[in-house]
Structure 1
């Protein structure tokens, strides 16, 4: 790992670069439910139910217990919401890496490659942004991998509503024809490449591609310690118009 990484694991702790907000963390044990710790925020249960598609998310102390079948949707949605997610994963030491691992379309993997090759033949909606941290637990090995939004080597262009009218989705089938957000400039600041797809939480429509800082500006606040200047009235939120239900005169879309 390098110091340039926005999120990395150091001595078992999640370390964030200046300007990077809180990230979600998920633990995938050998068996049983997925355990998720997401930054405290009003509406988390609604987000897990409506956006991630979990019928009855279970909250226990400071973490959520979620079905294993929701893992890929959870990772996709969390990256769009927070920019990054750390996935802790337990893997059997006796398992073997097979062709099925290389062709997998999710992040769940129980083979000897520690997930390094998992899904490399499949186009995903997220990608590793850091090396795995490995801990030997006897009968199994524990890894920690940081995932971020899928990047793009192409020159970024101005977003012109390619997904206008599309419902926000976090499942692979729903995103089959979506371009990577990184193919566009951030529709808010227009100074850097976008990273994630923003959507209207009120109406459920895709709005525009945003960079991580613009995407989290409302719930992180405009504070210098978060790497951004004080809020000003000149900030461009015209990308809200890509929600079909948005109207300045009547009701405002949620951030």
Structure 2
């Protein structure tokens, strides 16, 4: 779960896992991630990278946003390429006219907190209407990236069958945490187990 308050740092609650600090540092390029209790405090600038990387690591992410009551949904929201949105659509239309790497997969839940509203929206990998194909090392030698610019020319993982089990559509890009290269597209089940590639 990731929370974007009106002001201040992004708050991320990650499943307890050995290597979370290293993952945040190396994958998101956060120089010094702060850990307070059971939450990570991260700079706002890493929000889109965090959402993309969390979807690649866990298969989905719940993004909570605080939004001012006075904000209005604009063309900027519809064409947004990042995850930061603080307008009146409560994130429902955010990025719908862009070609992003993740899409809304759950309904928005809203809490009225007086001067602002809090929404919670589930995001997952962008799907594909085409039939899944077998991965044939299309990204061999590519460095894993959570930035749009670094993924230019990549197909969505959902275009392929899972390289681990070959029985389900892939949903995430697996990568080597030591060397940083893309290994293959995997389904969520295979991604949570050790897979040597």
Same structural fold, with TM-score higher than 0.5 when normalized by the shorter chain: yes
What is the deviation of 1:172? Answer: 0.9
Of 112, 117, 128 in structure 2, the residue corresponding to residue 136 of structure 1 is 112
- CA distance, structure 1, for counterparts of residue 79 and residue 60 of structure 2: 23
User: Structure 1 residue 210 and structure 2 residue 186: aligned?
Assistant: yes
User: Structure 1 residue 43 and structure 2 residue 19: aligned?
Assistant: yes
- CA distance, structure 2, for counterparts of residue 192 and residue 41 of structure 1: 25
* Aligned residue in 2 for 1:28: 4
* Aligned residue in 2 for 1:189: 165
Query: Matched residue pairs, number?
Result: 197
* Aligned residue in 2 for 1:149: 125
* Aligned residue in 2 for 1:107: 83
Q: CA RMSD in A?
A: 0.9
* Aligned residue in 1 for 2:144: 168
For residues 20-76 of structure 1, give each alpha carbon's deviation from its aligned partner in whole angstroms, at most 9, with x where no partner exists. Answer: xxxxx1110001100000011111100000011111111111100000010000000
* Aligned residue in 2 for 1:15: none
- CA distance, structure 2, for counterparts of residue 80 and residue 190 of structure 1: 18
User: Structure 1 residue 84 and structure 2 residue 60: aligned?
Assistant: yes
- CA distance, structure 2, for counterparts of residue 35 and residue 128 of structure 1: 20
User: Which runs of no fewer than 5 residues in structure 1 stay unpaired?
Assistant: 1-24, 219-236, 241-255
User: Structure 1 residue 55 and structure 2 residue 31: aligned?
Assistant: yes
User: Which runs of no fewer than 5 residues in structure 2 stay unpaired?
Assistant: none
What is the deviation of 1:117? Answer: 1.0
User: Hey, which bits of structure 1, 4+ residues long, moved more than 4 A?
Assistant: none
- CA distance, structure 1, for counterparts of residue 178 and residue 81 of structure 2: 30
What is the deviation of 1:103? Answer: 1.2
SS at match of 2:150: coil
What is the deviation of 1:111? Answer: 0.8
- CA distance, structure 2, for counterparts of residue 216 and residue 69 of structure 1: 27
- Taking structure 1 as the reference length, the TM-score comes to 0.76
- CA distance, structure 1, for counterparts of residue 58 and residue 3 of structure 2: 17
- CA distance, structure 2, for counterparts of residue 55 and residue 177 of structure 1: 28
* Aligned residue in 2 for 1:124: 100
- Taking structure 2 as the reference length, the TM-score comes to 0.98
